[in-house]
Amino acid sequence: MRPDHRDPIRVLLIDCRPLVLRGLHDLINARKPQMEVSGQASTYTNALDLADQLRPNVIFFSFFPDALNPLEVVAGLTRSAEMKVLVLKGLYEAVPVAQAIEAGARGVVLAEDPTESIIRAIIKVHHRDSGSDRAWAGGLSGYASIGHVPTQCNLEQAKQARLTLREKELIRAIVGDPSAKYISIAGRLGISEHTVHNHLSNIYQKLDLINRIDLLMYALKHGLTHNEEPPESTWVELD
């Protein structure tokens, strides 16, 4: 029997911090019936057991000290195509993002992201085509080993053609300083933080991305870090 398309997205939370678990739990369950928390685990052993029992659609996965290797746990969780892992990462946390993607994770969510971005990430990764994910992960694996991935396809070129010069300039600013706060980037480009967020929202939509880390990896993979055209003279805000 095929599942009803109105069934909620079932989410499993894996984190050793009670406050993080509580925050994600309340955020996701506030979106019922669209999505709901089906379980939560504070150890990797418990996480594997719960995933096997509950068969969630999306798994929020945090890296933390544990007896099990987190990358091996990600690989174990993603053996089933129906379970998609989203890595939860703090902006300044040292997390092996590329290796996590290679192990099977479908994306990365920043803990500092707005709540609406986190909700969109859950929906997007739940519906994202698994074939595209495998191709993206393969490219990222290459980037991790050689520093870049010389891979282009007509679909991606079409997406990139929709970017404005200003959007490309913003991408280069983010890649140039991945840990910079948005207000700092705005000051450097001579625009408001609100305008930065508006441009980023347009970029995410055009490139079919989730968040800032997704954008960073995409830009590195597809060579959006270089000036391909002369920049416009200035950034101008229209109120």
**Which of 134, 166, 189 is the last residue in one of the domains?**
134
Instruction: For the chain, give the mean pLDDT.
Output: 80
Residues 127-156 pLDDT 10s: 875 444 443 443 333 333 333 333 344 577
CA-based nearest residue to 106, from 207, 210, 222: 210
Residue 166's closest CA among 135, 203, 126?
Answer: 203
pLDDT at 175 (0 to 100): 85
> What is the pLDDT, as a whole number, of residue 226?
61
Indicate left, alpha or beta for 114 from its phi (over 0: left) and psi (-120 to 50: alpha): beta
- What is the rounded distance in angstroms from the CA atom of residue 119 to the CA atom of residue 206? 19
- Write down which residue in 101, 134, 167 finishes a domain: 134
Structural domain harbouring 91 = 9-134
Structure tokens at 41: 């685990």
117-122 average pLDDT score: 88
Write out pLDDT tens, residues 227-238: 544 333 333 333
Q: At 111, which CATH number?
A: 3.40.50.2300
Is 136:114 a contact under the CB 8 Å cutoff?
A: no
The pLDDT value given to residue 133: 43
Q: Say if 74 falls within a structural domain.
A: yes
Is residue 239 predicted with pLDDT exceeding 60? no
What is the mean pLDDT of the segment spanning 110-124? 86
**Do residues 112 and 229 both lie within one domain?**
no
Tens digit of each residue's pLDDT (9 = 90 or more) over 17-75: 999 999 999 999 999 999 999 999 999 999 999 999 999 999 999 999 999 999 999 99
Contacts 24+ apart (CB under 8 A), 126-135: 126/9, 126/57, 126/58, 126/84, 128/84, 130/81, 133/106
Q: Is 66 among the domain residues?
A: yes
Q: By mean pLDDT, which of 18-27, 109-118, 190-199 is the weakest?
A: 109-118
Mean pLDDT confidence for 97-101: 83
Are 102 and 13 found together in one domain?
yes
Q: What letter would DSSP give residue 135?
A: H
Give the up-direction half-sphere exposure of residue 213: CA atoms within 13 A in the CB hemisphere. Answer: 27
For residues 127 and 228, state if they share a domain: no
Strand, coil or helix: 63: coil
Looking at the structure, do residues 94 and 40 belong to the same domain, yes or no?
A: yes
171 shares its domain with 93 = no
DSSP code of residue 181: -
Percent pLDDT > 90 in the chain is: 35
Q: Count structural domains, the chain.
A: 2
pLDDT at 128: 72
Residue 48 structure tokens: 């594997």
Residue 219: name the closest of 175, 176, 155, 170 by CA: 175
The CATH number assigned to the domain holding 160 equals 1.10.10.10
Q: Once rounded to an integer, what is the mean pLDDT over residues 212-238?
A: 62
Question: Does residue 226 lie within any of the structural domains?
Answer: yes
Tell whether omega for the bond before 114 is within 30 degrees of 0, i.e. cis.
no
